[in-house]
Copies of this chain bind each other. A is one copy, B any other.
């Protein structure tokens, strides 16, 4: 319990150590997570996602700076960033990223930025991300940004860990990206058009607005979603909240204070509408499902011998059984039948 207590007491070195334990899924990390969990639930968790090239990292940097130096004499808030970075270890992408980030925020003890390489299984990654977020939450960070580089299902999964999700766009990223936007738009609470000094910003904003109109759930579809047992968080209607579109130029700090205010406004909206509790429940349910997935696979691995597995794989490679039949053999213990 010592490590967890040190983290609760504000020990930054202990925090860094625990983050590594959690990322590497050590026994000490798991025990600390268990004892820290009752102390979580106070941070505002903000997901930031979008296509590559939209400038998410510098945007998050700027947001962190604004929350540390709020306009109008408000008190600064503590900010953590979990950046999920899919670059390969051999390029040192994550390390370089941290170095670039540090310039603005160097030496500020109220900011903690943690990059995580997106290697290994996606389930494992999402689980580790959730763990890092819990550590920051328990350690008293007011805001935790969860930044994901990419546009796939993994990003949607990670976005489900957040209370408020920002989807970042930029002008002129090509038609393919326009298509990708559509899928990810449904999870957006706030839309950001970054690099708003580039030509084409009006077109981007117009396209976003029309897609937004299409994706707003109709009253009827909302009733439908409420009636289902476990609707995905992205499909939960938010009556009274229309995702705003904010233009920013993160390199010049334009629009960042306005964006920070929108993040606060969405938190207030969630609280006042009673949606905070709903989000919190859906958030934890998503997290539980991700961990379940991992646990089921790892427990199954232990339950089967390598020779059993290789025997089934061998028959599959010889095309004597189909992949589905191989799964039946391995999961249900069915007797191998030759065709």
Contacts and interface: CB of A to CB of B under 8 A. Distances in A.
**8 smallest beta-carbon distances between A and B, as pairs:** A152-B152, A37-B322, A53-B174, A87-B179, A88-B182, A91-B182, A93-B179, A122-B153
B325 A34 contact: yes
A189 interface: no
A326 B146 CA distance: 23
Contact of A296 (B183, B284, B296): B296
Contacts of A313: 281, 284-285, 288
Interface residues of A, number: 80
A120 to B, nearest CB: 8
- SS of A interface (majority): helix
Contact of A86 (B33, B180, B327): B180
A185 B88 contact: yes
A169 interface: no
Interface in A278-293: 280-281, 284-285, 287-288, 291-293
A317 B37 contact: no
Contacts of A97: 179
State the copy count for this chain.
2
Interface string A48-69: 0001110111000000000000
Interface string A142-163: 0000000111111100000000
A291 B297 CA distance: 11
Interface of A: 30, 33-34, 37-38, 40-41, 51-53, 55-57, 85-88, 90-91, 93, 97, 118-119, 121-122, 125, 130, 149-155, 173-174, 176-177, 179-180, 182-183, 185-186, 211, 214-215, 229, 280-281, 284-285, 287-288, 291-293, 295-297, 299-300, 306, 312-313, 316-317, 319-327, 330-332, 339
A56 B175 CA distance: 12
B327 A150 contact: no
A82 B226 CA distance: 35
Contacts of A323: 33, 37, 130, 284, 287-288, 291
A149 B122 contact: no
Contacts of A306: 229
A106 to B, nearest CB: 21
